[in-house]
């Protein structure tokens, strides 16, 4: 499982708060648990992360994160997918660093990261900059990142799409330092280049309200199929086959309003997304941040998301009975029509040094505890009345009220 990039930037609430110290240590651990239907069991992801930063006008930040994933997946995307499952586990490590320069009204940063797991390598390089326009009521920010990624795949040589076979998990995906090393006749490493750009404008509308509008774009070029996933097309179980190029874009907006009488803040956001594979989506979210004195903050949020299917995605029944919708075919649920609802909350305890430092060392100590529950609903991609096998729900639902939840605990130390 690979975590998707978020398309919205976090916007600071326009509310009175202490000035943070420049040096920091931030440690969090996130636990994601999802239930799967039938014999597939569940999916568990544990994500620890540690970041530190030093400096003011010139700053340096670095960090490490990992994804420990265990679970089971259907052996093949087919009508009877839940009749068998393939268990898997994976560990991904990533290190990242950035060098920043801050002026009176502008900031500039260069960033880089290296991530590795058994069958995927990622090297990124990028930069970002922002500037406050005269009056400091408007901020303009731009960022760009390029990924030099590689993914391990079965060496299918010159076989056609319906003849290709997937990795089994036992195939040798050897690494040569940070570069993949082919094993002729068994595995090959395929390149994936990703260019991502984003621009935002943040405008103070009043002393207690601001608005941010963002435009995000990405072009992915290279191998984008899941090398392990099989799709039953007719009576053939072939490795899924996705296009080699994908262009994606999103437009987002976020409004923050601080409500002085109740010492709280209201956040409203929306996002529209579209790509060249035919996936279109919309998401709306509302958040309420309630300050309890000067040391406690409680936040509630709710989010609704829905997307359409990729043009080449079909319910499993129609792959088996009608073949593919052209050259490409996939069983990726992220390319299926889905709807999900997220409800959650976050509790923050903040201690700021006044007469003396916190614990004799820190300018600020912040503890965070966050939890979300997720309700997932897979929708039919094709005419449900013509589907003798049902709606094509090979992934979800578990039959439980809550399909997934996320728990996160963290501490932020400023000194």
Which pLDDT value is given to residue 3?
33
How far apart are the C-alpha atoms of 312 and 94, rounded to whole Å?
33
Which pLDDT value is given to residue 275?
97
- Are 318 and 382 in contact, with CB atoms under 8 Å apart? yes
Reference 38, options 10, 88, 70, 72; nearest CA is 72
Length of the chain: 415
- Are 273 and 300 in contact, with CB atoms under 8 Å apart? no
The pTM of this model reads: 0.87
Q: Which helix (H) or strand (E) holds 131?
A: strand 120-132
How far apart are the C-alpha atoms of 96 and 92, rounded to whole Å?
13
Q: Give the mean pLDDT per block of 10 residues along the chain (415 residues).
A: 32 33 87 77 91 93 96 82 73 96 94 93 96 93 97 90 87 69 86 97 96 98 93 92 97 97 96 97 97 92 97 92 91 92 95 81 91 91 79 51 91 91
| Paired residues of 71 in beta bridges | 88
Which pLDDT value is given to residue 395?
47
Q: How many CB atoms lie within 10 A of CB 202?
A: 21
- For each of the domains in the chain, give its residue range(s) and CATH number, in order of start: 100-414 (2.40.128)
| Paired residues of 378 in beta bridges | 338
Which pLDDT value is given to residue 2?
39
Reference 149, options 64, 251, 218, 199; nearest CA is 218
For 79-102, the pLDDT digits (tens) are 876 556 778 888 999 999 999 999
Residue 45, CA distances (Å) to 1, 24, 70, 403 in order: 9, 26, 7, 14
- Are 252 and 214 in contact, with CB atoms under 8 Å apart? yes
Which pLDDT value is given to residue 400?
64
HSE value, Cβ hemisphere, 13 Å, CA-based, for 143: 21
How far apart are the C-alpha atoms of 322 and 299, rounded to whole Å?
49
């Amino acid at each position: 499982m690979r975590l998707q990039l978020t398309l919205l930037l976090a916007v600071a609430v326009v509310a009175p708060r202490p000035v943070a110290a420049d040096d920091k240590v931030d440690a969090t651990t996130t636990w994601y648990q999802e239930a799967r239907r039938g014999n597939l069991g569940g999916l568990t992801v544990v994500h620890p992360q540690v970041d530190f930063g030093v400096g003011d006008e010139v700053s340096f930040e670095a960090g490490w994160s990992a994804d420990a994933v265990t679970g089971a997946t259907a052996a093949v995307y087919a009508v009877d997918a839940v009749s068998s499952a393939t268990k898997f586990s994976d560990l991904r490590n990533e290190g990242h660093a950035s060098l920043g320069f801050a002026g009176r009204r502008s900031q500039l940063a260069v960033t880089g990261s290296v991530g590795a797991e058994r069958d995927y390598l990622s090297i990124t390089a990028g930069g970002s900059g922002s500037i406050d326009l005269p009056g400091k009521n408007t901020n303009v920010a731009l960022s760009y990142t390029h990924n030099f990624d590689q993914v391990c795949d079965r060496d299918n040589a010159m076989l056609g799409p319906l003849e290709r076979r997937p990795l089994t998990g036992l195939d040798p995906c050897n690494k040569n330092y940070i570069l993949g090393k082919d094993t002729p006749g068994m595995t090959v490493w395929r390149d994936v280049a990703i260019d991502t750009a984003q621009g935002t404008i943040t405008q103070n509308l009043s002393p207690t309200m601001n608005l941010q509008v963002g435009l995000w774009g990405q072009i992915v070029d290279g191998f984008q199929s899941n090398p392990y996933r099989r799709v039953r097309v007719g009576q053939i179980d072939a490795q899924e086959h996705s296009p080699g190029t994908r262009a994606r874009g999103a437009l987002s907006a976020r409004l923050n309003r601080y409500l002085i009488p109740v010492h709280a803040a209201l956040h409203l956001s929306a996002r529209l997304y579209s790509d060249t594979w035919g996936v279109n989506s919309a998401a709306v979210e509302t958040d309420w941040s309630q300050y309890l004195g000067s040391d406690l903050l409680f936040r509630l949020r709710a989010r609704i998301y829905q997307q359409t299917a990729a043009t080449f995605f079909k319910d499993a029944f129609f792959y088996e009975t009608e073949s593919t919708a052209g050259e490409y075919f996939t069983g990726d649920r992220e390319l299926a029509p889905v709807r999900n609802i997220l409800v959650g909350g976050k509790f923050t305890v903040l201690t700021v040094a006044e007469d003396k430092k916190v614990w004799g060392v820190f300018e600020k100590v912040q503890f965070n505890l966050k939890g979300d529950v997720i309700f997932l609903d897979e929708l039919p991609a094709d005419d449900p009345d013509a589907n003798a096998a049902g709606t094509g729900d090979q992934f979800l639902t578990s039959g439980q009220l809550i399909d997934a939840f996320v728990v996160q605990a963290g501490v932020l130390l400023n000194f």
